[in-house]
Structure 1
Amino acid sequence: MRDFFLNDEDRAFRTEIRDFLARELAPRVDRIERDQDFAAQLEVARALGKAGYLKLMFPDLYTGSLSRPGLTHAVIVSEEAAYLNYAFETTIATALSCAYPIHRHARPAMRERYLMPILEGRAVGSICMTEPNVGSDSAGMETAIRFDEASREWVIDGFKRYISNASRADVYIVWGITDPGAAPQKGMSAVLVPADTPGLSFPRIYDFMGRRGSVVGEVALDGVRVPEENLLGQADAGFRIMLEAFNFERVILGGSGLGVARAAFDLARDHAQSRVSFGERLGQKQLIWDMIAQMSWRIDAAELLTQRAARMYDDGIGGKDLMREASQAKLVATETAVFCSDRAVQILGGDGVTRQYGRVEQLYRDARALPIVGGSSEMCKYLIAAREMPAIRPNL
């Protein structure tokens, strides 16, 4: 039985959000993929916000029917959205990854100004971590943030890349070094930067092989100034905020991987049961049912790990105590998405690499980014190993 960790209320919610996305997202997926229509994504985001689905992570703001809303349900939304269109799921997952630290660490006035528009689907958020010389090694960050005592402002100089929602977001969370004399983990801060801030620019938008319709690009900060109250949490405490965000993002990416994997599996399974080859159905061939079986158990394993991590978070487990489980969920679910999309292409043959014959080639392109974004598979393995061997530090 799938949905092993879910109760009847959770399963009813899955049916509810699946029906909602069938009405709001499914009719727009061609515009998103074929035309790279970001406005179509915003239409769905507004509908999600109006219905209250973007507040699932924030029980103090949620007003829906769930008795205990949380990451478990946000993962379900992620999975069902990615099943239909991973580009759209990327957009809302990034917005929620921005909303999450704002809710936890922003001053009350900043929360009121920036959080509610995102959760109501009226605005889009973005998070800025990656730099030209900094990927998984966030401690090597070069963006500088200094405090101007005279004007009581934070001044930011730096360059970020591979930033989802770049140029389209209404607010950006920017991480940078505030104390260059300290270890990066003790000298990093995070600040809120509104989109209309002077000195903020977007030099380039990338053209990706997959996730067509999502917007990913570069963010340049040249003497950007924001008020003192735009700091998240305390000065030099940004690394802890980043770790919290990574746990959240990795569990959400578990849902993303599941959605893509399930979509590929369903297409492959249907084809294997209907296509006749050499006088019998394709699924009767040993090599084909071996692929179907492998796809099935991998999806179940990914689902169990992802739902476990989400449930742990909802039970109050976080920080380093969730790092291993969040990394396992992200690793297995995203690698499963790649495996299932690859096998689906193989099972469909020529139809699997031709746009005129369905979504499989799109899923193949979309899936390949998943083991890279939000912490690569290699980084997830390092985090898992580091927790399993606390007496030593594995060598990156």
Structure 2
Amino acid sequence: MRDFFLTHEDRAFREEVRAFMSRELAPKMDLIERDQDFNTQLTVARALGQAGYLKLMFPDLYRGALPKPGLIHAVIVSEEAAFLNYAFETTIATALSCAYPIHRFARAALRERYLLPILEGRSLGSICMTEPNVGSDSASMKTRIRFDEVSGEWVISGLKRYISNASKADVYIVWGVTDPEVPPQKGLTAILIPADADGMSFPRLYDFMGRRGSIVGEVAMDEVRVPEENLLGELNGGFKIMLSAFNFERVILGGSGLGVARSAFEIASQHAQERVSFGQKLGQKQLIWDMIAQMSCKIDASELLTHRAAKMYDSGIGGKDLMREASQAKLVASETAVFCADRTVQILGGDGVTRQYGRAEQLYRDARTLPIVGGTSEMCKYLIAAREMPSIRLNL
């Protein structure tokens, strides 16, 4: 039984979201993938915001029919969006990853100014962690943040790369070092920077093999100045914010991977039941049913792990107590997406690598991003093992 962890109410919500995506996103998939039309994404994002689907993580702001909205419902939205177009899902998931720390850690005036426009689909947000020499190793961050006592402003300098929504977002959350004399986990700070701040620039946009239509690039800060109130949380408290943001992002990415995997599986299983080869349906051949069975098992495992992590979060579990489960969800779902996309291309043969015969080749390109973004598969395995062996200090 799929959707094992979902209530009847959750399942009804999924059908509602699926109908919304079929109406608003499905007709625009070619414009996003083929034409890389970002304005089309903004149009669908606005519709999502107007429908209230971007407020699911924020019960104090949500005004929809669900009595207890939460991360499980945001995961459902992510899954259904990624099922149709992972590029679009990346755009809105990044915006939500920015909205989450604003809602939780920003001062009231800052929340009022920046949060609602994102959640209503009127603006975009972005998060800036990765640097030219810093991926999973956030402790080696080179971006510097200092406080100017004379002007009462934070001053930020550094370069971030592989930033989703770069140059398109209206607000950026940037992590940097405020105290280089202490261990990195105790000297990081998170700052909110509006896109139009002096000293902000976007030197380069990347051309990825997958997620065509999403915008990913560099964000450079040259002595950018923002008011004191733009501090998120506490001075040198950025690592705590980063940890909570990663948990949120990894569970959402579980939904992303699940959506991509389901989309590939649907194509493969349908083809196996229709295509005749050597006088038999493909699905009657042992090598094919083996692939279908493996995909089915991996998708169920991904769903169970992702929904469990989301339900745990919604029950109040977070921080290090959710790190293992969030990492498991992200690891298994992202690897499952790659496996299902690869096997689908194999089952379809020549049709699988040809754009004229469907979306299999697109899913193959899209899926490969998932084991890298939001913490690599290797980093997820480290975090899982670290929780399972607390008496051993693992060596990265």
Q: TM-score range by the shorter chain?
A: over 0.9
1:275 Cα deviation after fit: 0.2
The residue that corresponds to 2:176 in the other structure is 176
CA separation in 2, counterparts of 1:251 and 1:393?
25
1:257 Cα offset (Å): 0.1
Question: Which residue is equivalent to 2:368?
Answer: 368
The equivalent residue for 1:96 is: 96
In the alignment, the residues of structure 2 paired with residue 179 and residue 116 of structure 1 have an alpha-carbon distance, to the nearest angstrom, of 32
Alignment partners' CA distance in 2, 1:386 and 1:182: 23
Q: Does 1:331 align with 2:324?
A: no
Alpha-carbon separation, structure 2, partners of 1:349 and 1:112: 53
Deviations 1:85-134 (A, max 9, x none): 00000000000000000000001000000000000000000000000010
Report the AA paired with residue 105 of structure 1: F
Query: What is residue 219 of structure 2 aligned with on the other side?
Result: 219
Percent sequence identity over aligned pairs: 81
Over residues 142-173 of structure 1, what are the superposed CA-to-partner deviations in whole Å (9 max), with x where a residue is unaligned? 10000000000000000000000000000000
Tell me the distance in 1 between the aligned counterparts of 2:105 and 2:63. Answer: 22
1:339, 1:202 → 2: CA distance? 34
SS in 2 for 1:150: coil
In angstroms, what is the RMSD of aligned CA positions?
Answer: 0.3
Q: 2: distance between equivalents of 1:24 and 1:151?
A: 47
State how 1:55-134 maps to structure 2 within 5 Å: 55-134=55-134
Match in the other structure for 1:239:
239
**Shift of residue 182 of structure 1?**
1.1
Match of 2:254 in 1: 254
Structure 2 counterpart of 1:172, one-letter code? Y
1:303 equivalenced with 2:303 (yes/no): yes
Q: Which amino acid aligns with 1:85?
A: N
Question: What is the alpha-carbon distance in structure 1 between the residues aligned to residue 240 and residue 182 of structure 2?
Answer: 15
Aligned amino acid, residue 263 of structure 1 = S
Cα distance in 1 between the residues matched to 2:187 and 2:294: 46
1:198-209 to 2 correspondences below 5 Å: 198-209=198-209
Provide the secondary structure at the position in 2 that maps to 1:134: coil
Give the C-alpha shift of residue 394 in structure 1: 1.4
Specify the alignment match of 1:49 in structure 2: 49
**Residue aligned with 1:35, SS:** coil
**Which amino acid counterpart does residue 171 of structure 1 have in structure 2?**
V
Deviation at 1:316, TM superposition (A): 0.1
Q: 1:154 is paired with a residue of what secondary structure?
A: strand
Q: Quote the Cα distance in structure 1 between the aligned partners of 2:192 and 2:311.
A: 29
1:179-201 deviation line (CA, Å, top 9, x unaligned) = 11111111100000000001000
Aligned to 2:160, what secondary structure does the other structure show?
A: strand
Partner amino acid, structure 2, of 1:66: L
- In 2, Cα distance between equivalents of 1:203 and 1:36: 20
The whole-number CA distance in structure 2 between the counterparts of 1:156 and 1:37 is 32
- Which residue number corresponds to residue 39 of structure 2? 39
- CA distance in structure 1 between the partners assigned to 2:393 and 2:59 by the alignment: 37
Residues of 2 paired with 1:393 and 1:98: CA distance? 32
Q: In structure 1, how many angstroms separate the alpha carbons of the residues matched to 2:79 and 2:178?
A: 37
Give, in angstroms, the shift of residue 393 of structure 1.
Answer: 1.4
2:22 partner amino acid: A
Deviating runs (4+, > 4 A) in structure 1? none
Unaligned 5+ segments in structure 2 are none
Indicate the residue corresponding to 2:197 in structure 1: 197
| 1:279 aligned onto 2:276 | no
Aligned counterpart, 1:291: 291
Look up the match of 1:341.
Answer: 341
* 1:270 corresponding residue in structure 2: 270
Equivalent position of 1:383 in the other structure: 383
CA distance in 2, matches of 1:65, 1:27: 26
Distance 1:203 1:268 in 2: 41
Deviation at 1:395, TM superposition (A): 1.2
The Cα shift of 1:312 comes to: 0.1
Cα distance in 2 for partners of 1:393, 1:347 equals 44
Distance of 2:395 and 2:354 partners within structure 1: 43
Give the aligned length.
396
In structure 2, how many angstroms separate the alpha carbons of the residues matched to 1:144 and 1:287? 55
Q: Which runs of 5+ in 1 are unaligned?
A: none
Report what 1:6 is aligned to. 6
* Alpha-carbon displacement from aligned partner over 1:269-314 (angstroms, at most 9, x marks no partner): 0000000000010000000000000000000000000000000000
Q: TM-score, normalised by structure 2?
A: 1.00
Distance 2:133 2:282 in 1: 48
Q: SS of 1:269's equivalent?
A: helix
Q: CA deviation at 1:357?
A: 0.3
| 1:209 Cα deviation from its structure 2 partner | 0.2
Aligned to 1:156, the other structure's residue is in SS state strand
